[in-house]
Amino acid sequence: MNARAAALIAALAAAVAFPLAMQAADQLFFVGFASRVLIWAIAASSLNLVLGYGGMISFGHAAFVGTGAYVSGILIAGGVTSAWIGWPAAILASAVLALAIGAASLRTRGAYFIMITLAFAQMMYYLMNSMKAYGGDEGLSLTSRAALGFGLDLGNEVTFYYVVLAALCALLYATHRLAHARFGRVIAAIRENETRAEAIGFPVYRYKLICFVIAGAAGGLAGALLASHGKYVSPSLLHWTQSGTLMIMVILGGVGRLWGGALGAVLLLALEHLIAEHPIPWLLAIAPNYPQHANLGVGIVMLVIVLYAPQGLAGLVSRKRHA
Partner 1 sequence: MPDLLEIRSLAKHFGGVVATDEVSLEVRAGEVHALIGPNGAGKTTLVAQISGSLAPDAGSIIFDGRDVTRLAQHQRVRAGLARSYQITSIFRRSSVIENLALAVQARSGSSLGFWQPVASESGLVDEARLIAAEIGLSDRADIAGGELAHGEQRALEMGLALATRPRLLLLDEPMAGMGPEESQRIIGLIERVRRSVSVVLVEHDMDAVFRLADRISVLVNGRVIATGVPDEIRANEEVRRAYLGDEALSA
> What residues make contact with partner 1 under the rule CB under 8 A?
174, 177-178, 180-186, 189, 192-193, 195-196, 198-204, 207, 210
Q: How far is the CB of 204 from partner 1 (least distance, A)?
A: 7
Pick 10 or 199: Cβ nearer partner 1: 199
**DSSP label at residue 53:** I
Q: How far is the CB of 46 from partner 1 (least distance, A)?
A: 15
Q: How far is the CB of 321 from partner 1 (least distance, A)?
A: 20
Burial of 33 by CB count in 10 Å (0-12 exposed, 13-18 middle, 19+ buried)? middle
135: left (phi over 0), alpha (psi -120 to 50) or beta: left
Q: How far is the CB of 84 from partner 1 (least distance, A)?
A: 23
Q: From CA 208, how far away is CA 50, in angstroms rounded? A: 8
Nearest CA to 46 among 262, 254, 242? 262
Q: How many residues does the chain have?
A: 323
Pick 226 or 255: Cβ nearer partner 1: 255
SS (H, E, C) 37-55: HHHHHHHHHHHHHHHHHCC
Instruction: Please tell me the number of Cα atoms within 13 Å of 59 on its side-chain side.
Output: 15
Pick 32 or 55: Cβ nearer partner 1: 55
Pick 137 or 192: Cβ nearer partner 1: 192
Helix (H) or strand (E) holding 198: helix 194-199
Helix (H) or strand (E) holding 140: strand 140-141
Q: How far is the CB of 179 from partner 1 (least distance, A)?
A: 10
Pick 146 or 186: Cβ nearer partner 1: 186
Pick 217 or 266: Cβ nearer partner 1: 217
Q: How far is the CB of 168 from partner 1 (least distance, A)?
A: 18
Asked if 89 and 66 touch (Cβ cutoff 8 Å), the reply is: no
Burial of 234 by CB count in 10 Å (0-12 exposed, 13-18 middle, 19+ buried)? buried
Angle between helices 260-277 and 240-253 (to 10 degrees): 110
Q: How far is the CB of 181 from partner 1 (least distance, A)?
A: 5
Pick 143 or 195: Cβ nearer partner 1: 195
Pick 66 or 256: Cβ nearer partner 1: 256
Helix (H) or strand (E) holding 49: none
Nearest CA to 227 among 70, 57, 92? 70
Q: How far is the CB of 98 from partner 1 (least distance, A)?
A: 16
